[in-house]
Amino acid sequence: MDKVIIFDTTLRDGEQAAGASLNAQEKLEIARQLDKLGVDVIEVGFPASSPGDFEAVCLIAQEVRRPVICALSSADSGAVDKTWEAVKGAAHPRIHIFLSASDIHLSYQLKKSREDILKTSREMVARARNYLDDIEFSPMDATRAEPAYIYQILETVIDAGASTVNIPDTVGYTTPREFSDLMQGILSNVPNIRKAVLSAHCHNDLGLAVANSLEAIRVGARQVECTINGIGERAGNASLEEIVMALKTRHDFFGLTTGINTTQIYRMSRLVSELFGFPIQPNKAIIGANAFRHQSGIHQDGVLKRAITYEIMDPRSVGIPSSTLVLSKLSGRHAFRERLAELGYTLSEEALKHAFQGFKELADKKKEMTDRDIESLIAEELRTTTEVYHLDHVEVSCGDHSLPTATVRLIGPDGQSLADAALGTGPVDAVCKAINRIVGIPNELTEFTVKSVTEGIDAIGEVLIRIESEGVTYTGRGASTDIVVASAKAYMNALNRLLAAKGGSSNADSQN
C-alpha cells in the first residue's frame, strides 16, 4: 500500500483542548470542510461522554456521507452500545475502542491486572463486532507499556475482529527512533498484524508529534491520526497539514500518497482557528502568516529570481489565496459572491444576503476590504448560536478624566427591548456589567483577547471572550472596527451559548 489513510480527530481529540467548546452545527461545518479536504476518516466525538457529543455524532453521521465516520468508545459495554446508537446512521461507520495498556495506568488509575485488560479488550471488540465490521482498537499509553504486552493485546483484538490497531503516544513521551522501533516490533511480532491496518496517534508534549508520526509511516504504519492546526489535549496532536505536506513535498523520500486535496488546507485551518477560537502562531509551519514570507534581502532577491531558491512549497498548493483583487464599497453583490467562492465559501442565499449587508456597512468605514476582512465577516455568519438575547445598541463614555460608563439595549427572548447601564473599570468592563444586569446569569470571564485582522488604523478588531459557568467554558467571538462593539458582540455570543446550553433560561427569566 502506498497510500496513507488520513484519520482526522480535530472534532474529538482536538475538542479535548482546554477552552474548546463547539456546538453541533459548528462541528458539522468543520466535518463538511474535512470532507472537502479529502480526509479518509473523521473521528467526530465520544458519544458516551456527554449528550452534546452524542447529538453531534448523530448529526454528522447523517449528513456527511463520503468519509468513514468514527466515534470513540471506552471499553465498557454500555459505552460500546451507546456509541453504536450514535454512529449507526453513517454511510461508513467505525467504532474506536480504547483501553489503557501501560503498567503506570493499570496500577495507579485502573487498578487492574494485565489479564483483566486482555479479557476486557477482547470482549469489547467482540461486542462491537456484533454491530459492525469497521472496528479500531487503541491500547492507551502504548509507548510507556512493555512492547511484548502490546503485541499480545494487538494479537487478541485483531483475533476478536479489530480491523485497525492504533498505537497512541498518549503523553507525547516517545522519540522518533524509539517509536519506529516499536512499530517495526509490532509488524514482526504480532502474527495476525497483516489482517489489520497499523495506525499512529502522537501527542506533542515534546514537540515530536509530527516527527514520530512520519517515522511510524516510514516503517509501515498506513493510518495516521492528526488534527488541523495540531490542536488537542495539552500541547496538542500531530498536525494534519504538516504530515500531509511532508509526505507530498518529500515524495522522493517517503514514496507515499494521501487522498488530501491540499488546496483546501488554508481554508480548513482558518475555519478551525475561527470556530475553536485558537489563533495560529505566525511561524506555524504550512499555515502560519509568516510561513511563506521572506524578510531578509538575500532571500527576497532569490525568490524574485526563482521561487525554488528559498521556497520548498508553492503557497498556492496549500490554498493560500493569491488574488490581489481588493473589494471596496463600490463592489457589488456579484463581485462579493465571486470573491467568496474563490476563498472557498458557499453560503445559503439568506446567509449571503446578511453577509453582504455586513460587507457594505464595513466597506463604508474602510477604504479597502481584504480577504482577511471578508473571512472575518464570514466567520460571523458561521458562528451559529441560537440568539436568546440580541445586542441592539451599545454606547460608552470613557476617557482619562471620566468614569467608564456603558449603556446597552438588548432584545430579549420575547422580543422585548431591555436597557440598562453600568460603570466599570474600563469601557469593556462597563459593557459586560451592563449586559449582566439584564441577562443575570452567573459567569466568570476567564479570557479576553483582541487582535486586529489586518494592518492599518481602520482594521477590524476581533475579540475572543471565554466565560465559565459551573465548570464549563463557553467561547464567544465578535468583530467590528470598534473594539468596544466587538467586545460587546463577543460577550453576548458567549452568553447566548451558555443560555442555549441551559435551555434558554436566565436569572432574568426567573425574576420576571
Considering beta carbons, is residue 5 or 327 the nearer one to ligand KIV? 5
Site for ligand KIV in 90-119 (CB under 6 A): 98
Site for ligand KIV in 421-480 (CB under 6 A): none
Residue number, nearest CB to Zn ion: 13
Classify the phi-psi angles of 487: left when phi > 0, otherwise alpha if psi is within -120 to 50, otherwise beta: alpha
Distances, alpha carbon 64 to alpha carbons 40, 266, 304, in Å: 12, 21, 43
Longest alpha-carbon distance in the chain: 78
Q: How far is CA 272 from the centre of its chain?
A: 5
140 contact, one of Zn ion, ligand KIV, none, CB 5-8 Å limit per kind? ligand KIV
In the shown chain, the binding pattern of residues 195 to 234 toward ligand KIV, with x for contact by CB under 6 A and - for none, equals: ------x-x-------------------------------
Q: CB 38 → ligand KIV: shortest distance, Å?
A: 23
The grid coordinates of residue 127 equal 461486542
Q: CB 13 → ligand KIV: shortest distance, Å?
A: 5
Instruction: Give just the sign of the alpha carbon dihedral 124, 128, 130, 134.
Output: negative
Q: Are 427 and 483 in contact (CB under 8 A)?
A: no
Considering beta carbons, is residue 140 or 483 the nearer one to Zn ion? 140
Q: CB 272 → Zn ion: shortest distance, Å?
A: 17
Considering beta carbons, is residue 45 or 168 the nearer one to ligand KIV? 168
Q: Are 142 and 170 in contact (CB under 8 A)?
A: yes
Considering beta carbons, is residue 29 or 225 the nearer one to Zn ion? 225
Please list the helix, strand and coil fractions of the chain in percent, rounded to the nearest 5, in that order: 45, 20, 35
Distance from C-alpha of 99 to C-alpha of 117, rounded to nearest angstrom: 7
| Residue 56, amino acid | A
Q: 91 — phi, psi (to 5°)?
A: -65, -35
Distance from C-alpha of 86 to C-alpha of 58, rounded to nearest angstrom: 5
In the shown chain, the binding pattern of residues 10 to 39 toward Zn ion, with x for contact by CB under 5 A and - for none, equals: ---x--------------------------
Site for ligand KIV in 54-73 (CB under 6 A): 72
Q: CB 156 → ligand KIV: shortest distance, Å?
A: 17
98 contact, one of Zn ion, ligand KIV, none, CB 5-8 Å limit per kind? ligand KIV
Q: CB 400 → ligand KIV: shortest distance, Å?
A: 51
Site for ligand KIV in 134-153 (CB under 6 A): 138, 140
Distances, alpha carbon 47 to alpha carbons 51, 52, 446, 491, in Å: 7, 8, 27, 29
Q: CB 406 → ligand KIV: shortest distance, Å?
A: 44
122 contact, one of Zn ion, ligand KIV, none, CB 5-8 Å limit per kind? none
Q: Residue 318: count other Cβ atoms within 10 Å of its Cβ.
A: 23
Considering beta carbons, is residue 49 or 384 the nearer one to Zn ion? 49
Q: CB 200 → Zn ion: shortest distance, Å?
A: 11
DSSP SS3 for 386:
coil
Query: Cβ neighbours of residue 457 under 8 Å, at least 6 residues apart?
Result: none
Q: Are 70 and 94 in contact (CB under 8 A)?
A: yes
User: Applying CB under 5 A, which part among 5-13, 61-69, 73-81, 283-291 lies near Zn ion?
Assistant: 5-13
Q: Are 164 and 130 in contact (CB under 8 A)?
A: no
Q: CB 489 → ligand KIV: shortest distance, Å?
A: 35
Considering beta carbons, is residue 27 or 203 the nearer one to ligand KIV? 203
* Residue from 93, 168, 236, 277 binding ligand KIV (CB under 6 A): 168
Pairing relationship of beta strands 405-411 and 5-8 according to DSSP bridges: unpaired
Interacting residue ranges for ligand KIV, rule: CB under 6 A: 13, 72, 98, 138, 140, 168, 170, 201, 203
Chain positions contacting Zn ion, by CB under 5 A: 13
